[in-house]
Structure 1
Amino acid sequence: MFYEPSKGHGLPHDPFKAIVAPRPIGWISSIGRDGSLNLAPYSFFNAFSSALVWFSSDGEKDSATFAVETGEFVANLVGRDLAEKMNRTSVNAPRGTSEFDYAGLEMAPSRMVKPPRVAGVPAALECKVTEIFRPKMLDGSDSGAVVVAGEVVSVFIDDAFLTDGLFDMVKAGNVSRLGYMDYSAITETFVMRRPRWEKD
Structure 2
Amino acid sequence: MFYEPQNGHGLPHSPFNALIAPRPIAWISTRNAEGQRNLAPYSFFNAVSYFPPQVMFASTSAKPDQDNTKDSVANIRATGEFAINLVAYEMRDVMNVTSQGFDKDVDEFDRAGITAAPCETIACDRVAEAPATLECRLVQITRLPGESNYVTFGEVTGIHIRDDVLVDGLVDVAKFQILSRLGYRDYARVTETFTLARPDD
Structure 1 stretches of 4+ moved >6 Å: none
Match of 1:194 among 187, 192, 198: 198
CA contact (8 A) 1:56 1:148 kept: yes
Aligned to 2:166: 162
1:35 and 1:109 map into 2 onto residues whose CA distance is 13
Contact 1:29 1:39 in 2 (8 A): yes
How does the TM-score come out when normalised to structure 1?
0.94
Unpaired stretches in structure 1, ≥5 consecutive residues: 137-141
Q: Percentage identity across aligned positions?
A: 48
Partner of 1:53: 55
* TM-score, length basis structure 2: 0.93
Match of 1:130 in 2: 139
Name the CA distance, whole Å, in 2 between partners of 1:98 and 1:184: 27
Pick from 75, 78, 84: which aligns with 1:66? 75
Aligned partner of 1:78 in structure 2 is: 87
Superposed counterparts of 1:1-200, under 5 Å? 1-50=1-50, 51-58=53-60, 59=62, 60-136=69-145, 142-196=146-200
Per-residue Cα deviation, 1:79-129 (whole angstroms, up to 9, x for no partner):
111111111100111111011111110101101011111010110000000
CA distance in 1, matches of 2:156, 2:80: 12
Give, in whole Å, the separation in 2 of the partners of 1:105 and 1:134.
32
Match of 1:85, SS state, is helix
Partners in 2 of 1:119 and 1:144 — Cα distance?
31
**Aligned-pair CA distance for 1:146:** 1.2
- SS of 1:111's partner is coil
CA distance in 2, matches of 1:3, 1:13: 13
**RMSD across aligned C-alpha pairs, in angstroms?**
1.0
Structure 1 CA distance for aligned equivalents of residues 173 and 139 of structure 2: 28
Q: Which amino acid aligns with 2:12?
A: P
Shift of 1:143: 4.4
Instruction: Report which of the two structures shows the higher radius of gyration computed on alpha carbons.
Output: 1
Quote how far apart the aligned CAs of 1:144 are. Answer: 2.4
Provide the rounded CA distance (Å) in 2 between the counterparts of 1:9 and 1:154.
43
Tell me how far apart the structure 1 counterparts of residues 197 and 38 of structure 2 sit (CA, whole Å). Answer: 40
SS of equivalent residue, structure 1 residue 91 = coil
